[in-house]
Amino acid sequence: MEILNLKGTEDTPTILLDKKNGIFEISGRSLPEDSAEFYKPVIEWINAYGAEANPTTEFAFKLEYFNTASSKLILDVLSALEEIKGMKVIWYFHDDDEDMEEAGQEFSELVEIPFEFKTY
């Protein structure tokens, strides 16, 4: 499978999806102009990965900030991950960022995936 590696900008997160090395991460700030278009290749990659997934997968979210449009697409990403056996989400947030912690808690209640919360 091809590696999906999108370099982050001030408005878009860094995304690295690498099946071979077991790296699945979205990090940074997410406020792209067209969230649906930005996340489309990510969701397509996840759907393809689901057909031949690793036995276990840890998907890391290390977001500093995301806008309302991105939150809908993050939920779409999580919904795609929900279909994959052996999936676990690691939701990272800064010690003092209660909003990001709370966002992770809310997402964890909307999907059937085990979540682990970690500070950094």
SS (H, E, C) the chain: CCCEEECCCCCCCEEEEECCCCEEEEEEEECCCCHHHHHHHHHHHHHHHHHCCCCCEEEEEEEEEECHHHHHHHHHHHHHHHCCCCEEEEEEECCCCHHHHHHHHHHHHHCCCCEEEEEC
Please give the tally of structural domains in the chain: 1
Determine if the pTM surpasses 0.85. Answer: yes
Instruction: State the residue range of the domain holding 115.
Output: 4-119
Q: What is the pLDDT of residues 38-79, one digit of tens each?
A: 999 999 999 999 999 999 999 999 999 999 999 999 999 999
Give the CATH number for residue 65.
Answer: 3.30.750
